[in-house]
Structure 1
Amino acid sequence: MAEQLNISTSEIIHQLKLSCQIPEIVEAIATQTVINQAAKEAQIEVTETELQEEGDKLRLEKKLATAKETWGWLNKNHLSVQDFEELVRNNLIYKKLANHLFAPQVEKFFYENRINYEAAVTYEVILEDRDLALELFYAFEEGEITFSEIARLYIQDSELRRAGGYQGIRHRKDFRPEIAAAVFAANALQILKPITSPKGIYLIWVEEIIQPELEEDLRQQIIDELFTDWLKAKAVPLIQKAQFKLDNINSTEEVKSYA
């Protein structure tokens, strides 16, 4: 048995091929190419002060409180100091380009798509028998049973049963369309008439409907979503061309020279 593991670049690339990770690598390269070109055209630059601040944020995210921990993380990931600086610079350019391109569009996009950012706090029980679901619905409305009692009696999953069927805060896209329509047409503290779906008969109690406000977190979320969609559209032609080349590569050395 070997006492030391010696790994070559070609072996790493070959393992990436065998683990079917080459498409992800190609996508990352194409995406970074698009970002670099667009940033150059937009004359986006970063200062040394910004680099230092972003580097500090990254170390904080990675919980690298000391120089020793930072060096350990760099070694583990086979990164040099120059690689780390490039990583930080790329992060900054990504953020600056996203804001440059899409910050002016946020308010218009938000108000045109406001319903997609509505959220609901719901509790649900899924039953197999519609007659039983209707019986429980009317019993709840008459005050003969609470929703937590329904959950305790008819939910099989122990954790979900203990939570009373609580589903958390979910947006319209997180629900099946027929359920979303009923949920977001409801008032707070309202039980919905049983809804039939392929999964079963849903009995849902709506605790709260949360109307969205364009605060900083949502503003940044919209910028990121728009930028991600834009990047994908721009990168697709490059990815298709790259994958065409990869399909015709027979040796790991050729992959290495291309990458």
Structure 2
Amino acid sequence: MSQSITITAEDIVKQVKLSLQIPDLIESIVNRKIITDAATEAGITVDNEELQQAADALRLLQKLRGAQETFAWLEKHHLSVDDLEEIAHFTVISQKLMTHLFAEKVEPYFYENQLDYVGVVIYEVVLEDEDLAMELFYSIQEGEMSFYEVAHKYIEDKELRRKGGYRGILSRKDLKSEISAAVFAATPPEVLKPIVTSKGVHLILVEEILQAELNDQLRYQIGSELFGEWIINQIESVSVVTSLG
């Protein structure tokens, strides 16, 4: 016997409450209002071409290859075509507001904080025994073992072991301060003396240090960081009143 269940807007609000999602939802609403109001005050407008490009980018992001898939996606998320246009519109004004507020501030900020954007390529093995770490360090120094052999033997995580302990390209903020200081003082390629932290004893191969370059990707990253800080400051300066019943 089939059963029909009716879900109301009240049911949805209650479920959001019971799922403990209200704080995140309120924050998103406040963010939207702050950005929308600031864009209006700055006289930011959106033309049809910009709106279309944003909508196309959204469809690409959601892997919607045609009209049929788009309408199915809208139905699944209880959205109308007007809602899709509103999402696209908000995306455009957010980007334009970020540019309006911070385009001229990105370059000076970069040069003032250039060291924060230097990258480093490292390989790492974390051990529990400091004596063992020192023994392995000297074995590598004397050519008795390679760093890869140490990683292959002592790393427990299968995927990390397969990569020889490769951690990728990291910045200073990705590393603990005691590790960061040693890593960025290295002369690559160099295996560092074991470093003890609360997570264990770190045996690190510094393969390469990458000097920061203010390219388009980094410009966008810095602009986004500054914009995010600006939004947080705006939220802290407003009083939010909710009426949910």
TM-score range, shorter chain: over 0.9
Q: What does residue 90 of structure 1 align with?
A: 90
Query: Do structure 1's residue 162 and structure 2's residue 151 form an aligned pair?
Result: no
Give the drift of 1:197: 0.9
What is the percentage of aligned positions where both structures have the same residue? 49
Distance 1:212 1:157 in 2: 31
Distance 2:171 2:113 in 1: 12
Unaligned runs of 5+ in 1: 246-253
Matching residue's letter, 2:139: A
Distance 1:10 1:75 in 2: 20
> Normalization by structure 2: what TM-score?
0.95
Distance 1:198 1:157 in 2: 19
Give the drift of 1:2: 5.8
Give the drift of 1:152: 2.0
Secondary structure of the structure 1 residue equivalent to 2:143: coil
RMSD between aligned residues: 1.5
Deviations 1:80-132 (A, max 9, x none): 11111111101100000001100100000111111111111111111222222
Query: Do structure 1's residue 241 and structure 2's residue 240 form an aligned pair?
Result: yes
Give the drift of 1:241: 2.9
Distance 2:198 2:31 in 1: 39
Query: Do structure 1's residue 124 and structure 2's residue 124 form an aligned pair?
Result: yes
Matching residue's letter, 1:130: E
Q: What does residue 190 of structure 1 align with?
A: 190
Q: What does residue 11 of structure 1 align with?
A: 11
Unaligned runs of 5+ in 2: none
Q: What does residue 249 of structure 1 align with?
A: none
Matching residue's letter, 1:54: A
Distance 2:59 2:24 in 1: 25
- Where does 1:123-142 land on structure 2 (aligned, <5 Å)? 123-142=123-142
Distance 2:21 2:139 in 1: 54
Q: What does residue 248 of structure 1 align with?
A: none
Distance 1:29 1:75 in 2: 22
Q: What does residue 229 of structure 1 align with?
A: 229
Matching residue's letter, 1:162: R
Distance 1:194 1:50 in 2: 53
Deviations 1:21-51 (A, max 9, x none): 1111111111111111111111000111211
